[in-house]
């Protein structure tokens, strides 16, 4: 999803998460880079007696790179595949009720497994790039796909996983594949409406130097999906597997994606991300960050809680919280359901 071709020895597979410090400024995530070898290539190397590097990663079909969890962890133990608590799922469904909802699916392993495949109220499911062979993808639910890279990139046989993405693109699918232009060799391809949403959201509004920018901030695949959703009447967009925490993503793609999330909000579209997600997670600058210095006198520290109570603030979701089945309320809810739906035994 990067803006330009980058030559590096392998995919990002680890490293500490991004951090910031008031004393040192932003510390960009410097990932651990490991050599990746497709499983089919590794098999041939073994057959020919060629030694596989000790620290190499063998990439198998459906495997994701970029996890913060060690590569030898099983798929079922990845952070992103832990189920969410029932109250969280229930709240999400209530927030979605009555709204035209799009679900945008990335492949970041920390939250991709939280996608609400079995939940109601979703109008559109959007996948991207070569994620179609991942085991947890429900391709029967997909309604749109995005592959906005240049042809030379999507024709590669093994772009990230040990799959043939180009062969898949040449098949006919039940959903459109949005690309830079219609590719005659990709029967389901349709041109992404770049001019239409550039004119609607960008033209004449942003300038750099002495000129207005013709196209601005198309820094990730999500930067194309979000304006498309707005133009097609989406009222809510949910993001799963969208972390943008690797170095090039953190520097270039996350700002662009959050820019378009802001545009969506300004047009009345709700944006939802799981609790674990790193986007839309800035420090509460000024009020809560940077924190008081340890040398400050106690009188200064007491002056820093300046937010106060906003009982009428609309983000409280009080009405939703009243109806949630929190763990402490499950017994009571079961009793009420029993009284309402189960007929009492006939008295003899």
- 111 with 274: CB under 8 angstroms? yes
Put simply, whether the predicted model's pTM sits higher than 0.85 gets the answer no
Write the CB contacts of 166 (distance below 8 Å, at least 6 apart in sequence).
Answer: 154, 155, 156, 157
Please write the tens of the pLDDT for every residue from 90-101. 899 999 999 999
Q: Is the peptide bond before 209 cis (omega within 30 degrees of 0)?
A: no
Q: Strand pairing partners for 208?
A: 211
For 45, the token pair is 């190397």
Could you tell me whether strands 25-27 and 19-21 are parallel, antiparallel, or unpaired per DSSP bridges?
A: antiparallel
CA distance 209 to 312: 43
What pLDDT is recorded for position 299?
81
Query: What is the Cα 149 distance to its own chain's centre?
Result: 18
Residues in the chain, pLDDT under 70: 1-34, 60-83, 157-162, 247-248, 250-251, 303-305, 325-334, 336-338, 340-348
User: What does R_g of the chain's alpha carbons equal in angstroms?
Assistant: 24
Strands (E), the chain: 12-14, 19-21, 25-27, 32-33, 36-38, 57-59, 101-105, 124-128, 144-146, 177-179, 189-191, 207-208, 211-212, 236-240, 270-272
Whole-angstrom Cα distance, residue 18 to residue 29? Answer: 5
Phi, psi of 26 (to 5 degrees): -70, 130
Answer whether 306's CB lies under 8 Å from 73's CB. no
Query: pLDDT value at position 146?
Result: 97
Give the pLDDT confidence score for residue 263 in this predicted structure: 95
CA 247 to chain centre: 16
> What fold does the segment set 77-272 form as a domain?
sialyltransferase cstii, chain A (3.90.1480)
Q: What is the pLDDT of residue 8?
A: 44
Please answer whether residues 232 and 106 qualify as being in contact, where contact means their C-beta atoms are separated by less than 8 angstroms: no
For the chain, domain boundaries: 12-70, 77-272, 298-340
State the DSSP string of 167-180. Answer: HHHTS--SS-EEES
Q: And the tokens for 62?
A: 């459906």
Question: What are the pLDDT digits (tens) for 119-160?
Answer: 999 999 999 998 998 878 899 999 999 999 999 889 876 556
Cα(104)–Cα(116) distance, integer angstroms: 11
Token pair for residue 170?
């040449």
Q: Calculate helix-pair angle for 254-266, 222-231, nearest 10 degrees.
A: 10
How far is it, in rounded angstroms, from Cα 147 to Cα 129?
5
């Amino acid at each position: 999803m990067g803006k330009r071709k980058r030559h590096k020895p392998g995919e990002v597979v680890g490293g500490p998460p991004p951090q910031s410090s008031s004393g040192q400024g932003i510390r960009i995530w410097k990932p651990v880079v490991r050599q990746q070898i497709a499983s089919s290539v590794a098999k041939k190397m073994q057959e020919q007696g060629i030694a596989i590097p000790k620290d190499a990663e063998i990439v198998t079909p459906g495997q994701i790179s970029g996890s913060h969890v060690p590569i030898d962890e099983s798929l079922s133990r990845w952070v992103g595949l832990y189920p969410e608590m029932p109250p969280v799922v229930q709240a999400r469904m209530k927030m979605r009720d009555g709204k035209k909802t799009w679900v945008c699916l990335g492949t970041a392993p920390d939250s991709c497994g939280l996608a609400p495949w079995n939940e109601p109220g979703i109008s559109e499911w959007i996948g991207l790039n070569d994620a179609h062979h991942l085991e947890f993808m429900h391709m029967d639910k997909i309604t749109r796909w995005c592959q906005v890279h240049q042809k030379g990139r999507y024709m590669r046989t093994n772009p990230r996983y040990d799959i043939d993405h180009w062969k898949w693109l040449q098949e006919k699918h039940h959903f459109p594949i949005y690309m830079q232009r219609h590719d005659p060799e990709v029967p389901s391809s349709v041109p992404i409406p770049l001019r239409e949403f550039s004119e609607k959201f960008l033209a004449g509004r942003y300038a750099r130097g002495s000129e207005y920018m013709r196209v601005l901030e198309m820094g990730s695949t999500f930067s194309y999906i979000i304006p498309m959703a707005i133009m097609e009447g989406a009222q809510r967009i949910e993001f799963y597997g969208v972390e943008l925490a690797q170095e090039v993503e953190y520097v270039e793609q996350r700002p662009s994606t959050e820019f378009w999330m802001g545009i969506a909000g300004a047009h009345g579209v709700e944006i939802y991300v799981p609790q674990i997600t790193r986007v839309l997670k800035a420090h509460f600058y000024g009020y809560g960050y940077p924190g008081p210095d340890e040398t400050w006198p106690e009188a200064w520290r007491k002056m820093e809680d300046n937010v106060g109570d906003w009982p009428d603030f609309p983000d409280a979701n009080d009405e939703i919280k009243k109806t949630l089945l929190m763990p402490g309320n499950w017994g009571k809810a079961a009793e009420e359901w029993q009284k309402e739906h189960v007929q009492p035994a006939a008295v003899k």
